[in-house]
Amino acid sequence: MESIEEFLIIFIRIFFIIIIPAVALYFRLKGTIQTGFTLGVVILSFILGILISGSIHEDPVKVFTRTINTGDAEKSKIALKRVIQLEGDAFARIDPEKITRPDLYARLTSELVLEYLDIATRYHDTYRALPDATCGNIDGYKTAVSNLGHALRVSRYAKLLGGGDPALHNNIKISLDDALKKLEGLNKKCEGAKP
């Protein structure tokens, strides 16, 4: 077994799918409990075993470290994206000492910085110039706010990887604040206009 998570999944499945139903069947055959109760226990324990074992996940930082050490660039990139998107301290928990392929790690981080900056720039350029605020284009403002929020998020990811563009980040913040103010004004203005 590679990790404690795999052991837990196997243990939970054995406990909920084999042991609990076996105990319930034993007491049913002994005549202590009713058939309906036994069926309920067996079905419920089977469902709980599947749900609980499905909710156990390995730490994304460990997954990334293991994947990058295999040398698989595509899977490592996906695993690194998952770690970054957790925000918080997940990215800081990556231990460079445990990475046996520092060249691949450096390449992946630089690729992701460029990818995130490209996305942020594209979204900012598309949604920074908003049309006049009318009740007819309130959905366009909601879309713009959502996409500018996404641009700000990916700009933060690029900064986290050590390659963010502070000017772009500030411009996105300004555009997002402007769009939020206009959207708030539109919501107030258009509230009374709808039947």
Whole-structure pTM value: 0.72
Instruction: Give the Cα separation of 133 and 75 in Å (integer).
Output: 44
From residue 16, alpha-carbon distances to 29, 39, 57, 77 in Å are: 19, 14, 18, 36
pLDDT at 115: 93
**Residue among 116, 134, 119, 130 nearest 174 (CA):** 130
pLDDT at 86: 83
Instruction: Give the Cα separation of 71 and 84 in Å (integer).
Output: 19
Tell me the one-letter amino acid at 129: A
Per-run averaged pLDDT (10 residues), the chain, 195 residues: 77 92 91 89 92 84 89 91 82 87 91 93 85 74 88 90 87 88 82 57
pLDDT at 180: 86
